[in-house]
Structure formats: C-alpha cells, structure tokens
Amino acid sequence: MSEAHEILEVSGLSVDYVLPLQDVRAVDDVSFTVDRGEFLGIVGESGCGKSTLLFAVAQLLAPPALIAAGSVKFEGTNLVGLTDKQLSAIRWRDMSVVMQSAMNALNPVKSIGAQFKDALQAHGKPSKEEIATRSAEVLRMVGIDPVHLKSYPHQLSGGMRQRSMIAMAMLFTPDLIIMDEPTSALDVVAQRSLMTQIKELQQAYGFAVIFVTHDMSLISHFSDRLMVMYAGQIDELGDTRTIFDRPPHPYTQGLLEAFPSIRGPRVPLKGIPGNPPDMAAIPTGCRFHPRCPHAVERCTVTAPDLYPLDGDLVRCLRRQDGTLPKADQQGSLSR
C-alpha cells in the first residue's frame, strides 16, 4: 500500500471521557488506515467505543470527551489540534458525516432544498442556478425526485430522509463519507435498498466510506475490510470475506453465531455469555476473557497485542504464533 493511496491514517488514537470520579478511556490506542475508494466496516456492540471513534475521526468530540493521544491524518493533514475554522474548510467539502437518525439530523422547520443551500453556501458563493442544479443532481443520484427539494423532513418516509442525508453528504463529492448506523432505523427492505445504493454511488464516484454498525451480517456483502471493536480496542482488522469465512477471534465467532439464520437447519444458539464490560472497570489481561469460551489462564493476566494472521490483525493470545488452532477452523459457521 503506497502512501498516495491512503486517504486517512489514524494512529495510536485514544479518547478519554473526563469524569468527576474517574477518567474513562473509551477508545484505546486505535490505529488503522483507509484507502481511497475503500469501504471499511466497523462493527461492535453498544458501548464498545465505535461511535466515539467516529466522532474522534471527524473531530466532533465535545467535552467531557477529549483526544488523549494519537493522530488522525486526513489527506496528509493531522486533524487533531486544528481550529474549528481550519476544520470547517475540510468538513463537508472533503469529508462528510451521515448520522444515525436522519429525523434528528435534518432541521425539521426547513425544507430539504434550504438545507442543501446552507451547506453549499458554507463553502463559497454559488449562484442560485448552481445551487438549484447541484441540489437536484444529488437528490437524483440517491433516487429521489427533485420536487422533494421543497418538501420538509416530516413529509418524507424514513428511507427518503436517510437518502436525502446521504445526498447532502455528497454535495461536494467528498473523498470520505463517515456513516454512523445510517440504516438502523429502517426495516429490512429499505435497509437493503439503501446499502445497495451506497455501494453503487461509492463505485461511481470513488469516495471512501467508513460504515459503523452493530449488525455484522448487514455489511458482509458490502465492505472491503472489516474492523471489529471490543471494549474500546480493535479486536480484529482484516478482509471482510476472510473474517466471515473463518473468524479468528472468539468474540467475532460469537457474534457470527449469535445470529439465527433463515436458511438451513434450526439449531439452538447460545449467543455470547455475560455482558460487555463496564468501561470504568475493564477486566485484566484480555478484555474479552470473562466471556470467552476458550480463555486459558494467561488470558487473565497478559493483555494481548494485535498479532498478524494471514495479512489480518487479531488481538488474541492463542493467535500469537500466527496460526489458527485446528478446532476453530471448522468449529464455527458449520451451519
């Protein structure tokens, strides 16, 4: 991977929530890169730090959260420490964010067109015609009739609102679009349709996507690389297909086995025992060991690093030597 292809380089990023009793580290030493035009999926349960990580990448953190260490290099510029003014030149033009709930992200008392206009005018002085043409253009890209520029958010369905958020994020054809669970408020049919569309747009316009979700199966067909987070750390980072075919980390295995399938035999599932850890009282050693079916004694004392395994990275002591124990290779996903 040459330097020129990397659009985003996050290294050693840690985020603390500064609280009266105790500081809580929500994101702990996270490093990854995103290539131009790549689709990176980030998966994890609630409280694993995935949204905090996104906010840190987009420099949207507000107190009590603050970046304690690390850098976020976007197209060669370190975003950490930039002023709001410097950031606003980049935001929306080169990097945009699509939030989870479009109902809350859109202004309810302004028409869609007026909100597009605001965004366009924030970067330069476009003429009326330019605004009208570009707004209609992006709405058409996401498959909405431009007459809806005059519509207010409440007049649109949930799927259309989410689509218009994506249209807005594409106003300047940015290089990176960050999406925080954009489909979780939609039902399966609308969800599938939106995912397909995001992928098509991405291939047509070549922007990179960071897509955060708690639903692993949703992005299985769409993301190039997958990052699994647990308790503020990267648990696993690698090629999506490889991870689905033979998940090396016990947590990922558990996540995949927690899904009932609509095909094949009906098998009893167990899910992952226990609950995600309290970030103020993180377990010693491997953070997953209290819930891990394969945990051995050293897991309770030694904190694992990210070890390479067939080009992927895995945070598990049992993968330290770069191999996959035989038992696991078949064990999971036999369904």
Partner 1 sequence: MSELLRAEHLTRHFKIGGMLSRRTLHAVDDVSFSIGEREIVALAGESGSGKSTIARVLARIYTLTSGQVYFEGTPLSAIRSRRDGLRYAGLVPMVFQDPFASINPVFRVQHGVLRILKLHRPELSARQRLDEAERVFGVVGLGADMLERFPYELSGGQRQRVGFAQALAMRPKLILADEPVSMLDVSIRIGLLNLMAKLRDEEGVSILYITHDIASARYVADRLIVMYAGQLAESGPIEDVLTAPKHPYTQLLLSAVPDPMAPLSQVNDRGEPPKVVDPAPGCRFRWRCPLAIETCSTVTPILAELQPGHEVACHVAQTGAEVKAFAS
Phi and psi of 173, rounded to 5°? 45, 70
The reply to whether 260 sits near partner 1 by the rule CB under 8 A is yes
- Closest approach, Cβ 87 to partner 1, in A, equals 33
Tokens matching residue 125: 């002085």
Piece of the chain touching partner 1 by CB under 8 A; list 21-29, 100-108, 182-190, 315-323: 182-190
Q: Which H/E stretch holds residue 128? A: helix 128-141
Among 23, 29, 45, 224, binds partner 1 (CB under 8 A): 45
Who contacts 303 (Cβ-Cβ below 8 Å, separation ≥6)?
284, 285, 286, 287
Among 88, 89, 259, 300, binds partner 1 (CB under 8 A): 259
The reply to whether 256 sits near partner 1 by the rule CB under 8 A is yes
Tokens matching residue 320: 């330290």
Q: Which H/E stretch holds residue 6? A: strand 6-17
Phi and psi of 9, rounded to 5°? -135, 110
The reply to whether 193 sits near partner 1 by the rule CB under 8 A is yes
Piece of the chain touching partner 1 by CB under 8 A; list 65-73, 81-89, 104-112, 266-274: 266-274
- Closest approach, Cβ 111 to partner 1, in A, equals 20
Rounded Cα distance, 321 and 323, in Å: 6
Cβ proximity to partner 1: between 85 and 263 the closer is 263
Three-state SS sequence of 211-241: EEECCHHHHCCCCCEEEEEECCEEEEEEEHH
Among 4, 189, 281, 327, binds partner 1 (CB under 8 A): 189
Give me the residues paired with residue 309 across strands.
312
The reply to whether 266 sits near partner 1 by the rule CB under 8 A is yes
Cβ proximity to partner 1: between 220 and 320 the closer is 220
- Closest approach, Cβ 272 to partner 1, in A, equals 4
Give the footprint of partner 1 on this chain (CB under 8 A): 45-46, 143, 157-160, 186-194, 214-218, 220-221, 244, 254-256, 258-263, 266, 268-272, 275-276, 333, 335
